[in-house]
Amino acid sequence: MNTLVTGRRLARELGEWRSGAPAYKALAERIRVLLMDGRLSSGARLPAERELSQALDLSRTTVAAAYSKLREDGFLASVRGSGSTLQLPGRERGEHALHPGLALDFTKATAPAYPGIQAAYAAALEELPANLVHDGFDLVGLPDLREAIAQSYRDRGLPTSAEQIMVTIGAQHALNLVTRSLYSPGERILVEQPTYPHALDTFAQAGARVLAFPVRQDGGWDLSEALLQIRRAAPSMAFLMPDFHNPTGMSMSVHEREYLAAAAAREGTVLVVDETTAFLDIDRGPMPPMASFSASILTLGSLGKIAWGGLRVGWIRGSREILAQLLRNRPAVDLGTPLMEQLVATKLINDMPSMVASRSLDLRRGRDTAVRLMREHLPQWQVKVPDGGLSLWINTETVSSSALALAARAEGLGLVPGPRFGVDGAFERYLRLPFCYTDGQLHDGIEILGRIAAHVGSDPLRMPLQAVI
């Protein structure tokens, strides 16, 4: 069944959509921007014309004209009695790539596979026959893998037993399971602003009301606003990325970790800490895990960033009581993590120091190359150099990142504009630029940015509609 986007949600996602163009063209183009950067998915059903016109305080004729323009350009399919469904042009012709026609796809902050992963698969394959007596339905994880994960926490100074670990099919799967288990309809979820887009997708799918508190490159986490939101709204859970935060690359100080952990514990808010980027260190050095400051904190981990995105293995670290609750709910979501992937993950986690060292060298090269190229091609933009992570979070000054993404697509470069990382369309003047690519790819991508930025202004809908086709 296609997901129905309500008029209220679409109005919120649209943000600053009006421009100097006729209203129907501006509305059509903004909806297309939301589809291109993932805030709306292909296959999502748009609200009825009357519902959207009321939500936006527009005439129904204007909304109808916008929908007609989207249909004309191949971004909307309408069937009488079934509504209007978003689509990416080319899908009906069998083009299944998520971003067809892009020579440089900078929409993903994901690094190449760790060089030792092939050896890990080969070693795991040798162990597979001895493990085929296993029924293959594993809801908690292989004992050896859970122990290896627990040891990785102990190596970071956090006492952890294998019984505190549940192995999952990646961190996103873990977050879905945690949300299903901790969140109840009508409650609130607290997030950072900006934050990881797919976390927002998970919470939107659950129907949660999302509250946000700022993370600023010049001031860190806004602790006073976080405390105010926790006290005033009593959110059931809060989602945080304290280590090499996506997209800013920042890390919480020890004081910030202690403060938020204590505030959440006092008010009964469960902190759900995403550590998928925790090992992507370049210059920072070790920091205590967030869970060091409260026994009630749930930690999500994954090998997707440090080893390879194609290895869909993650985990949850938490108390035995919460893990028991997750275990009761898990069969409604899936029936366990694949065995072969768990064997590979065990090999890799036992090789964690080598993975971290290898990844750090690659990230340093990419970061330094990207910063140098940005200063060469776009010296007017503010670029704060992160001490870890996978990307730069760039202040584009007066340039709309949505318009920039549209213009870049016409040049074969895929970008994710800032509003994808914000609640209610924030961060139009920010751009996430991953640096986990080759020097040649970074050079070509940033050269395109420098060339088109001069022709893209502050209007998020300035580029013509045909620019991305």
3-state secondary structure string across 49-110? HHHHHHHHCCCHHHHHHHHHHHHHCCCEEEECCCEEEECCCCHHHCCCCCCCCCCEECCCCC
Q: Say which CATH architecture domain 117-350 belongs to.
A: 3-Layer(aba) Sandwich (3.40)
The two structure tokens encoding residue 100: 């067809």
Asked if residues 22 and 30 have their Cβ atoms less than 8 Å apart, the reply is no
Q: What is the CATH number of domain 104-113+354-468?
A: 3.90.1150.10
The two structure tokens encoding residue 95: 């083009």
Residue 97: burial class (beta carbons within 10 Å; 0-12, 13-18, 19+) = exposed
Asked if residues 469 and 89 have their Cβ atoms less than 8 Å apart, the reply is yes
What is the amino acid identity at position 313? Answer: V
Does residue 187 surpass a pLDDT of 60?
yes
What is the pLDDT at residue 220? 92
Alpha helices in 336-429 (DSSP H): 339-349, 352-377, 401-410
Among 126-135, 139-148, 244-253, 297-306, where is mean pLDDT lowest?
A: 126-135
What is the pLDDT at residue 101? 55
Report how far residue 238's alpha carbon sits from residue 246's, in angstroms, rounded to the nearest whole number.
16
Please count the helices (runs of H) and the strands (runs of E) in the chain.
Answer: 15, 17
- Find, among 46, 52, 23, the residue nearest to 34 by Cα: 46
What is the pLDDT at residue 74? 86
Q: Alpha carbon of 146 to those of 133, 210, 330, 339, 437: distances in Å? A: 19, 32, 17, 13, 32
Asked if residues 148 and 155 have their Cβ atoms less than 8 Å apart, the reply is no
What is the pLDDT at residue 467? 32
Q: Look at the pTM and tell me if it is higher than 0.85.
A: no
Q: What is the CATH number of domain 7-93?
A: 1.10.10.10
Contacts of 113 (CB under 8 A, 6+ apart): 307, 308, 310
Q: What is the DSSP letter of 388?
A: B
What is the amino acid identity at position 137? Answer: F
Higher pLDDT, 191 or 4: 191
Asked if residues 192 and 222 have their Cβ atoms less than 8 Å apart, the reply is no
Does residue 255 surpass a pLDDT of 80?
yes
What is the pLDDT at residue 403? 87
What is the amino acid identity at position 305? Answer: K
What is the per-residue DSSP string for 256-319? HHHHHHHHHHHHTPEEEEE-TTTT-BSSS-----GGGG-TT-EEEEESTTTT-TTS--EEEE--
Q: In the β-sheet with 76-79, what is the strand arrangement from edge to edge?
A: 45-46, 83-86, 76-79
pLDDT tens digits, one per residue of 402-438: 889 888 988 999 999 999 999 877 898 999 999 999 9
Asked if residues 431 and 384 have their Cβ atoms less than 8 Å apart, the reply is no
Contacts of 145 (CB under 8 A, 6+ apart): 167, 342, 343, 345, 346, 349
pLDDT tens digits, one per residue of 321-340: 999 999 999 998 899 999 99
pLDDT tens digits, one per residue of 44-103: 889 999 999 999 999 999 999 989 989 988 888 887 767 888 887 754 434 444 445 568
On the question of a common fold for 7-93 and 117-350, the answer reads no
Domain regions of the chain by residue span: 7-93, 104-113+354-468, 117-350
Asked if residues 240 and 193 have their Cβ atoms less than 8 Å apart, the reply is no
